[in-house]
Homo-oligomer: A and B are copies of this chain.
Amino acid sequence: MTAEPFVVIGGDAAGLSAASKCKREAPDREVVVFEKGRWVSYAHCGTPYYVKGEIDALTDLLSLSPTAIDDRGIDLRREHEITGVDTDERTVTVRGPDGEAREQSYGDLLVATGGHALTGPIDGTDLLGAFSLHGMDDAAAIRAALEPAGEATVESLGGGEFLDPSVIEPYADRTPPETVAIVGGGYVGVEMAEAFVAHGLDVHVFQRGEHVLGPFGEAVGERVGTELRDRGVTLHLGETVERLAGDERVERLECAGGTALDVDLALVGVGIEPNVGLVADTPVELGDSGAVAVDDYGRTAVENVYAAGDCAEARHAVTGEFDWVPLGLTANRAGRAIGQTVAGDPKPTGDIAGTAVVKAFDRECGRTGLVDHERAEAAGFDPVSETVTDASRSGYYPGAAETVVTLTADRETGRLLGGTIVGTDRAAVRIDTVATALEGDMTVDEVETLDLAYAPPFSPVWDPVLTAAKVLNGSLDD
* A454 and B396 contact, CB distance less than 8 A: no
Q: Which of B61, B348, B439, B465 touches A450 (beta carbons < 8 Å)?
A: B439
A89 to chain B, nearest CB (A): 34
Interface 1/0 per residue, A338-368 and B, CB below 8 Å: 0000000000111111111111000010101
* B453 and A356 contact, CB distance less than 8 A: yes
Q: Which of A142-150, A160-168, A205-213, A427-435 contacts B (4 or more CB under 8 A)?
A: A427-435
A235 to chain B, nearest CB (A): 22
Interface residue A415 (Cβ < 8 Å from any Cβ of B) = no
Which residues in B have their C-beta under 8 angstroms from that of A46?
394, 396-397, 456
Interface 1/0 per residue, A405-441 and B, CB below 8 Å: 0000000000000000000001011111101110111
Interface 1/0 per residue, A45-59 and B, CB below 8 Å: 110010000110000
* B355 and A451 contact, CB distance less than 8 A: yes
Q: Which of B49, B426, B432, B448 touches A453 (beta carbons < 8 Å)?
A: B432
Interface residue A333 (Cβ < 8 Å from any Cβ of B) = yes
Interface residue A398 (Cβ < 8 Å from any Cβ of B) = yes
* A436 and B450 contact, CB distance less than 8 A: yes
* A429 and B458 contact, CB distance less than 8 A: yes
Interface residue A119 (Cβ < 8 Å from any Cβ of B) = no
Interface residue A198 (Cβ < 8 Å from any Cβ of B) = no
Bound together, the chains give a CA A354 to CA B45 distance in angstroms of 36
In the complex, the chain B residue whose C-beta lies closest to that of A348 is: B449
Bound together, the chains give a CA A366 to CA B329 distance in angstroms of 24
Bound together, the chains give a CA A442 to CA B437 distance in angstroms of 11
Interface residue A310 (Cβ < 8 Å from any Cβ of B) = no
* A451 and B397 contact, CB distance less than 8 A: no
Interface residue A120 (Cβ < 8 Å from any Cβ of B) = no
Interface residue A280 (Cβ < 8 Å from any Cβ of B) = no
A320 to chain B, nearest CB (A): 14
Residues of A within 8 A of B (CB-CB), count? 67
Interface residue A272 (Cβ < 8 Å from any Cβ of B) = no
Interface 1/0 per residue, A286-306 and B, CB below 8 Å: 000000000000000000000
In the complex, the chain B residue whose C-beta lies closest to that of A327 is: B454
* A455 and B428 contact, CB distance less than 8 A: yes
Quick one: given A439-B450, A452-B329, are A432 and B463 in contact (CB under 8 Å)? yes
* A333 and B449 contact, CB distance less than 8 A: yes
Which residues in B have their C-beta under 8 angstroms from that of A398?
54-55
A397 to chain B, nearest CB (A): 6
Bound together, the chains give a CA A351 to CA B354 distance in angstroms of 28
Bound together, the chains give a CA A433 to CA B463 distance in angstroms of 13
A49 to chain B, nearest CB (A): 6
* B446 and A439 contact, CB distance less than 8 A: yes
Quick one: given A49-B456, A357-B455, are A437 and B436 in contact (CB under 8 Å)? yes
A65 to chain B, nearest CB (A): 13
Interface residue A330 (Cβ < 8 Å from any Cβ of B) = yes
A25 to chain B, nearest CB (A): 11
Given contacts A357-B454, A428-B458, list 10 more A-B pairs with CB under 8 A: A43-B456, A55-B398, A317-B451, A355-B453, A357-B455, A428-B455, A429-B459, A435-B451, A437-B440, A439-B451
27 pairs from A and B in contact (CB 8 Å cutoff): A13-B461, A43-B461, A45-B394, A45-B454, A55-B397, A327-B454, A328-B454, A329-B461, A332-B461, A348-B449, A349-B449, A351-B451, A355-B452, A359-B457, A366-B453, A368-B453, A426-B426, A428-B453, A429-B453, A429-B458, A431-B453, A432-B453, A432-B465, A433-B433, A435-B451, A435-B452, A436-B442
Listed from nearest, the 10 A-B pairs whose CB atoms lie closest are A440-B440, A350-B449, A357-B453, A436-B436, A353-B451, A60-B396, A432-B433, A428-B458, A357-B455, A359-B457
